[in-house]
Amino acid sequence: MMHILGIETSCDETGIAVYSGGKGLLAHRVYSQVKLHAEYGGVVPELASRDHVRKTLPLIRSVLSEAGLRGADIDGVAYTRGPGLVGALLVGAAIGRALAWAWQVPSVGVHHMEGHLLAPLLEEQVPEFPFVALLVSGGHTQLVGVEGVGRYQLLGESLDDAAGEAFDKTAKLMGLPYPGGPELAKLAENGDPKRFKFPRPMTDRPGLDFSFSGLKTFALNTLKQALTEELDVEAVRRLKADIARSFEDAVVDTLIIKCRRAVHETGYKRLILAGGVSANRRLRERIKAVMEQEGGHAYYPRPALCTDNGAMIAYAGWQRLKAGQSEPMQFGVRPRWPMEELPAL
Ligand code: KG4
Ligand code: ZN
């Protein structure tokens, strides 16, 4: 039985996990740097790297002990090679590669988005290949046709902001604390969906690409316009909730329209959602209903495995290591790394 240690340090979360080829996920923990970056309103790369240096080894120790394992029980190490912040990536890569050397086991550098893409396979209901994947994170929005591990065809992507980035920027301009996406979604819960009508960008023309930067501007203009009137505290609170709701509906609707199109074009009956934004409740509910209408099925990971985590890296690494892939002593990271460059298994 193969035990793989997974290390994720591409951005502002230190994620560590152990995946067992026979027993599945044995333990996983995520340390979030949210508090560290909150006062700056966004991720400060240098501070992120320094915090990964402090947190990675202690977190590995506690995950190993939770799994009831020692270093000698680990058969391979997987770490995130990219895409991400270069300094942050280097911490996980250096620690992962060095541990593999010390333990005399192979290591592999995993593509962060492949990690997200394979995360639904960690759940009980495993989607069979082929499927369409909607990857929605803070840095990427992509529709991918997936025939197998490493067999990825990019069907469409965002030409400007990623969906998560649009959530974060819109939250910021409405004065919500970092990280804005989940805060905006919370605010939207009590919003009136009918008060404002937001556009559904790029849905009136063919193709599977996205553009989300206009929605943030639309939200800003809507807010400014409404604030030209004198409003009391309660009215401002309601205004922001209503904008949040219309913004969320616009993003979700736009994603759904393109997902449905991708399902028609590929003829695939399964669709998986992955990446931080796939933790969004409304998106999960809508995509499930739409795939049922299409006579197919939607899959997504539990919310803790939607956002950045070590489990998805351990799992993707296990897939590649068991296929015999590994790397030499010399290692490197790839801050930019197109997923189509990955070798098929
Ligand atoms: O995958 P992830 O954890 O990190 C990246 O690889 O970027 O995704 C983080 C993104 C952030 O933009 C965050 O605001 C967004 O996912 N996010 C959400 C929700 N939870 C996280 N966006 C909307 N609704 C949510 N519930
Ligand atoms: Zn991510």
Give the tens place of pLDDT for each residue, 226-254. 999 999 999 999 999 999 999 999 999 99
CA–CA dist 306, 324 (Å, integer): 27
Whether ligand 1 lies within 6 angstroms of the CB of 307 is answered as yes
| Range list of H helices, the chain | 34-38, 45-66, 86-103, 112-118, 163-173, 180-188, 213-227, 233-266, 281-293, 311-322
End-to-end CA gap in the chain = 20
Q: Give the ligand whose atoms come closest to the C-alpha of residue 166.
A: 1
- Cα 193 versus chain centre, distance: 26
Whether ligand 1 lies within 6 angstroms of the CB of 178 is answered as no
Instruction: Identify the pLDDT of residue 1.
Output: 79
Structure tokens at 48: 């992120």
CA–CA dist 77, 124 (Å, integer): 24
Cis peptide before 106 (omega within 30 of 0): no
Å from CA of 19 to ligand 2 middle: 19
Q: For residues 183 and 248, is the Cβ–Cβ distance under 8 A?
A: no
161, 216, 277: residue to mutate for ligand 1 pocket, most atoms within 8 A of CB: 277
Residues of the chain with confidence (pLDDT) below 70: none
167, 187, 215, 245: residue to mutate for ligand 1 pocket, most atoms within 8 A of CB: 167
**74: DSSP letter:** -
Whether ligand 1 lies within 6 angstroms of the CB of 168 is answered as yes
Whether ligand 1 lies within 6 angstroms of the CB of 309 is answered as no
Whether ligand 1 lies within 6 angstroms of the CB of 137 is answered as yes
137, 184, 273: residue to mutate for ligand 1 pocket, most atoms within 8 A of CB: 137
Q: For residues 251 and 278, is the Cβ–Cβ distance under 8 A?
A: no
Whether ligand 1 lies within 6 angstroms of the CB of 83 is answered as no
59 SS3 class = helix
Instruction: Identify the pLDDT of residue 260.
Output: 98
Å from CA of 305 to ligand 2 middle: 10
CA–CA dist 317, 266 (Å, integer): 28
Instruction: Identify the pLDDT of residue 234.
Output: 97
**158: DSSP letter:** B
Which residue minimizes the CA distance to atom 14 of ligand 1?
A: 181
Whether ligand 1 lies within 6 angstroms of the CB of 279 is answered as yes
Q: In ligand 1, which atom is closest to the CA atom of 162? A: 12
